[in-house]
């Protein structure tokens, strides 16, 4: 069994059993980012083989602070399948569904037409966007204790666990994306704020980056997909019993409960 197959199998079982594995980079120091994306795609193939369907894509590492921590100079990406999507007001059971989750407040884009790179611009992203919604990405690592390097998180579907979509969608022409303010509350207490500019200057820039990055793998952003554009606030810890709310100025809100 080669390295891609072995690590993809380990990550697949880690997700099914909610049991973390040792960092890939500690066992394979020469693992490249290209190898990591091949592992991620191999895990995705397993998910599709059991009936899941891709409904969107996500961007990670849009924050300069996080990039510096992992010693990289660009974002990464992962895939969203139908079983990963929750609605505002839903409840997630940590012990059943997750390992060590954290929450990121983001803006979700719903596309009305395909976006295929290279050369996609932020203006083209906005023209192809049917609506924007507030959302949470519930990030989770199948790597033990979050001991990750960039290759570990890329291989692990960019550390994506679940997403929580708000119920309200607005058109992008009604929002100043770089300037819009986000507020995250835990159990009614404000814990973080941020602006749209935190995601590569604008969430639309982040989506354009993703469309262009995907072209190197022969794929694109597709009409109807939900695209998560990157966190505007620091990661928030989650404990059983918590209720998290994200509000985005001019867009709406999303709420999720944890047990």
Mean pLDDT, the chain, integer? 94
Q: Give the strand pairing for 91-92 and 252-258.
A: parallel
CA distance 217 to 113: 19
Determine the straight-line distance between the first and last CA of the chain, rounded to whole angstroms: 39
Q: Give the strand pairing for 76-81 and 54-60.
A: antiparallel
CA distance 252 to 222: 24
Tell me the C-alpha to C-alpha distance, in Å, between residue 232 and each of 110, 137, 152.
18, 11, 22
Q: How confident is the model at residue 70 (pLDDT cuts 50, 70, 90)?
A: low
The pLDDT of residue 151: 94
Q: Taking the C-alpha atoms of 236, 242, 248 and 254 in order, what is their torsion angle to the nearest 10 degrees?
A: 130
Please name the fold of domain 3-258.
Fumarylacetoacetate hydrolase; domain 2 (3.90.850)
pLDDT single digits (tens) 219-238: 999 999 999 999 999 889 99
pLDDT single digits (tens) 190-204: 999 999 999 999 999
Tell me the C-alpha to C-alpha distance, in Å, between residue 192 and each of 109, 182, 185, 187, 189.
22, 8, 7, 13, 9
**0.85 exceeded by pTM:** yes
């Amino acid at each position: 069994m080669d390295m891609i197959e072995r690590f993809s199998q380990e990550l697949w079982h880690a997700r099914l059993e909610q049991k973390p594995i040792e960092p890939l980079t500690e066992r394979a120091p020469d693992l490249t980012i290209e190898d990591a994306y091949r592992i991620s795609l191999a895990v995705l193939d397993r998910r599709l083989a059991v009936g899941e369907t891709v409904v969107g894509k996500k961007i990670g590492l849009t924050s300069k602070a996080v990039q510096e921590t992992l010693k990289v100079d660009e974002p990464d990406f992962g895939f969203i399948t139908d079983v990963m999507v929750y609605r505002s007001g839903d409840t997630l059971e940590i012990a059943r569904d997750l390992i060590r989750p954290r929450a990121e407040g983001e803006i979700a884009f719903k596309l009305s037409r395909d976006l295929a790179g290279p050369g996609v611009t932020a203006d083209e992203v906005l023209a192809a966007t049917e609506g924007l919604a507030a959302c949470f990405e519930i990030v989770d690592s199948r790597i033990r204790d979050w001991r990750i390097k960039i290759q570990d998180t890329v291989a692990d579907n960019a550390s994506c666990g679940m997403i929580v979509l708000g119920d309200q969608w607005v058109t992008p022409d009604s929002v100043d994306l770089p300037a819009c303010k986000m507020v995250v509350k835990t159990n009614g207490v404000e814990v973080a704020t941020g602006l749209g500019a935190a995601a590569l200057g604008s969430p639309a820039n982040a989506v354009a980056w993703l469309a262009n990055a995907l072209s190197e793998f022969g794929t694109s952003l597709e009409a109807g997909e939900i695209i998560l554009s990157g966190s505007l606030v620091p990661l928030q810890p989650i404990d059983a019993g918590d209720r998290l709310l994200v509000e985005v100025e001019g867009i709406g809100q999303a709420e999720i409960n944890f047990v």
